[in-house]
Amino acid sequence: MKRYFGTDGIRGRVGESPITPDFVLKLGWAAGRVLAEGRNGGVLIGKDTRISGYMFESVLEAGFTSAGVDVGLLGPMPTPAIAYLTRTLRARAGIVISASHNPYPDNGIKFFDSDGKKLPDEVELAIEVALEAPLKTVESHQLGKAYRVQDAAGRYIEFCKGTVPWGLSLKGLSIVLDCAHGATYHVAPQIFEELGASVTAIGVDPDGLNINEDSGAVAPERLRQAVLDNGADLGIAFDGDGDRVIMVDSDGTVVDGDEILFVIAEHRRLAGVLNGVVVGTVMSNLGLEEALQSRGVKLLRAKVGDRYVLEMMLNEKCSIGGETSGHIICLDRVTTGDGIVSALQVLCAAVESGTPLNQLRKGMSKYPQVLINVRAAEPEALAENRKLLRAVKEVERELKNFGRVLLRPSGTEPVIRVMVEGREASKVEGLAQQLAQRVSDLAAG
């Protein structure tokens, strides 16, 4: 069992264990020891825009160099950009300082291997073992060096533009971008403008404290209003580190990850480049499954977490997968979830088909789905509570085989996620509230 690594690296509140400067210093040293074994090359470190990123960048640099590993500093960059640059610059590993969609008081550390993929479990375990050893600095002549990577943003911008067909133009499209005051603020507007779109950018003024604040993929209302106010063709929202995307069509309707996944998969199916399988998660809407099934495409469900989606995609030799939250992986383009690249694939579908987003998304009909987060001190144990499992069975009987119930302990927060899905919105809402109250009562003891 891993002590520190969760489904998406190590994450928590800044100043509280393990997200403290002394721990992250030791983490850099331990990771340096493990990743240095028998290999040449340095590591790359990037971050999002939260204020604590400066502090953790410094201590990670000290930790790696004390282990004899060179460090290339990327500055504020989207998480998928760090995965891409790790691969193309032949780095030993890429490290991301980010808490993704969480607010600024949180932060975290994520790792990519030399191929731009999440570290395997055995490597994370090896780092945790190394953390238990006393920190010992290498001899002075063996110390690593630190340097600033030149034109990291420009390299990534050109890569993103290269994920759509040569000659594809977004000219004539008016787009609102919401960068959540996060890591995409200085690259996303340029990418879409250089492809020809007319861009209105919001959420592009980070101050270290406003990342994800009432903006971006986790709070698309501001984007929705901006699309309507500007009469835009569509809106695109990223989260703080740029690996999620949520869209808004010209009618002001929010288009979630399931619908984005459907649009991309259907475009590839019609082009004859889909192998008949798409990977979602246990949270993916039944409407997505039914829409794909009616087109001869099978939806496989992985555990929640993009690492599990990617694992299943690799096993099934599948090129498209993603989560309702907007983590979309186009494995024929990238090695990890990339909000900008995913949005570009949707725009490619719209331009090549001559069909606007508000029509493309109507190829699937979503079942009403309600998700409620209930705080719990021990969510994993509570999810196995017999009384709670009986309550779940009762709700399932109420749905009469025309819906689903899912209780899931979060991998990043002390909460249980209660999801109820069915045909009747009012019934789904009532049953979700009923079940969430039961979870809350049992959590309170």
Which positions are catalytic?
100
Contact 71, 104 (CB under 8 A): no
Tokens matching residue 421: 């899905």
Helix, strand or coil, per DSSP, at residue 203: coil
List the beta bridge partners of residue 244. 327
Angle, to 10 degrees, between the axis of helix 425-444 and the axis of helix 386-399?
170
Is residue 35 a contact partner of residue 29, using CB atoms and an 8 Å limit? no
Helix (H), strand (E) at residue 415: strand 415-422
Burial of 169 by CB count in 10 Å (0-12 exposed, 13-18 middle, 19+ buried)?
exposed
| Interacting residues of 128 by C-beta distance below 8 A, sequence separation 6+ | 2, 3, 4, 5, 30
Sheet with 245-249, side-by-side order of all strands: 198-202, 174-178, 234-238, 245-249, 254-255
- Quote the distance between the C-alpha of residue 122 and its chain's center: 22
Residues 193/221, Cβ–Cβ less than 8 Å: no
**Is the four-CA dihedral 102, 108, 114, 117 of positive or negative sign?**
negative
- Token code pair at residue 444: 């309170």
Sign of the C-alpha dihedral, residues 73, 76, 77, 79?
A: positive
Reading the block at residue 418, the tokens are 């209660």
Burial class from Cβ neighbours inside 10 Å (0-12, 13-18, 19+) for residue 231 reads exposed
DSSP state of 378: S
Q: Are 282 and 304 in contact (CB under 8 A)?
A: yes
Pairing relation of β-strands 198-202 and 174-178?
parallel
